[in-house]
Amino acid sequence: MITTKGYAAKSTTSGLAPWEFERREPGPTDVLIKILYSGICHSDIHQVKSEWGPAIYPIVPGHEIIGRIEQVGSDVKKFKVGDLAGIGCMVRSCGECDYCKNGQEQFCQKGKTVWTYNSVDADGTTTYGGYSDKIVADEAFVLHVSEKLNISKAAPLLCAGITTYSPLNRWKVGKGHKLGVLGLGGLGHMAVKFGVSFGAEVTMISHSPSKEADAKKLGAHKFCNTKDPEQVKALAGYFDFIIDTVSAPHDYNIYFNMLKVNGVHICVGIPPVPMEFMGNSLMRGNRVLTASSIGGIPETQEMLDYCAEHNIHPEVEIVPIDYVNTAYERVLSSDIKYRFVIDMASLAN
């Protein structure tokens, strides 16, 4: 077994603190990765607090992982020692069902998707995430990370990046389309960057007029302050697509009415309450309401390669590991532009 240093929460109220645990020795198809950077995702907070179902304590969060490979198993074909590598939200699936074979491992038909942390692996052990100094994973769930990327910024691509890239890519959003991005946060700022890069006209939609300058810096062409009725009225029937990154309750009818005939509203935020809207807001115009999760392994690799080729990085604040509890507080108060990344070298200090 491999002794591993990390930060873990031991209850819903304990906060995160140093914790040593053991990882398995690499098997024939496994790689051992020295973790260099680990992103902080809002879902880490939800799971630490058992807000998405009972957590398995102690819990070591982190599913936005960038590191270098230190050891490879005897049958590993994709990687060699020294390669930059990434791990996202999952580390295993059945590999046999139609969804797994088609690169949608996150929806494994046999229910055998194993998440990077707070999950039960095939051998019955608990998975522990990226707030740690090393990780072992099967090469099939490890991503190549280009040396072109700034690795201190790249970690959030493994969740926030693929969560926004996947639906925009699937719906073929691009030149000639008008895209609305609802909410300027960790997901929203990546949606702006991808939308602009894909060639769409991008409008940031927000109830905070103070965010207009930041939206324009990120590349947004236009801005809509939803507290101004005239601005909202001017966008009636305007958008081909809206990507909705808001995780708080909000009035969907406002945004459905901004869609053209056959327009598409894509939800990637997860509000804690059931959605409520008037059916007529969708029916009037044959509008589509859809949602999107993360992407599978092939699409995540495609996204990483695209970002390397087009120099797309998240906007991040890099912090030491002992700052993580303060970082959580700041995420909850929206006091971050736009993602935290932990420099895991600080774990050794």
pLDDT of residue 27: 96
Residue 167 near residue 243 (C-beta atoms within 8 A): yes
Q: Is the pLDDT confidence value at 12 over 80?
A: yes
Q: H-helix or E-strand containing 85?
A: strand 84-87
pLDDT of residue 111: 95
Q: For residues 256 and 316, give the distance between their C-alpha atoms in angstroms, rounded to a whole number.
A: 31
Q: For residues 157 and 166, give the distance between their C-alpha atoms in angstroms, rounded to a whole number.
A: 11
Query: Mean pLDDT throughout 50-63?
Result: 95
Q: For residues 62 and 311, give the distance between their C-alpha atoms in angstroms, rounded to a whole number.
A: 24
Residue 156 near residue 162 (C-beta atoms within 8 A): no
Q: Is the pLDDT confidence value at 348 over 90?
A: no
Query: Three-state DSSP class for 243?
Result: strand
Query: Mean pLDDT throughout 129-143?
Result: 98
Q: For residues 203 and 221, give the distance between their C-alpha atoms in angstroms, rounded to a whole number.
A: 6
pLDDT band at 271 (very low <50, low <70, confident <90, very high): confident
* pTM tops 0.85: yes
Angle of CA points 98, 161, 158, to nearest 5°: 70
Strands, DSSP E only, in 28-79? 30-40, 65-72
Q: Is the pLDDT confidence value at 349 over 80?
A: no
**Listed residue (247, 245, 214) closest to 315, CA to CA:** 214
Bridge partners (DSSP) listed for residue 51: 53
Beta-carbon contacts of residue 204 (< 8 Å; ≥ 6 apart): 180, 181, 184, 188, 192, 211, 212, 215, 220, 222, 223, 224
Query: Three-state DSSP class for 180?
Result: strand
Q: Is the pLDDT confidence value at 122 over 90?
A: no
Tell me the per-residue pLDDT of 96-120, one tens digit each, with 9 for 90 and over. Answer: 999 999 999 999 999 999 999 999 9
The structure tokens listed for 20 are 């040593």
Query: Mean pLDDT throughout 325-331?
Result: 97
User: What average pLDDT is seen over the chain?
Assistant: 96
Tell me the per-residue pLDDT of 69-102, one tens digit each, with 9 for 90 and over. Answer: 999 999 999 999 999 999 999 999 999 999 999 9
Domains assigned to the chain: 2-159+314-348 (3.90.180.10), 161-291 (3.40.50.720)
Query: Mean pLDDT throughout 168-188?
Result: 97
pLDDT band at 272 (very low <50, low <70, confident <90, very high): confident
Query: Three-state DSSP class for 17?
Result: strand
Q: Is the pLDDT confidence value at 270 over 90?
A: no
What type of residue sits at position 85? A
pLDDT of residue 230: 97
**Listed residue (176, 187, 179, 229) closest to 204, CA to CA:** 179
pLDDT of residue 308: 98
**274 or 67, which is more confident:** 67
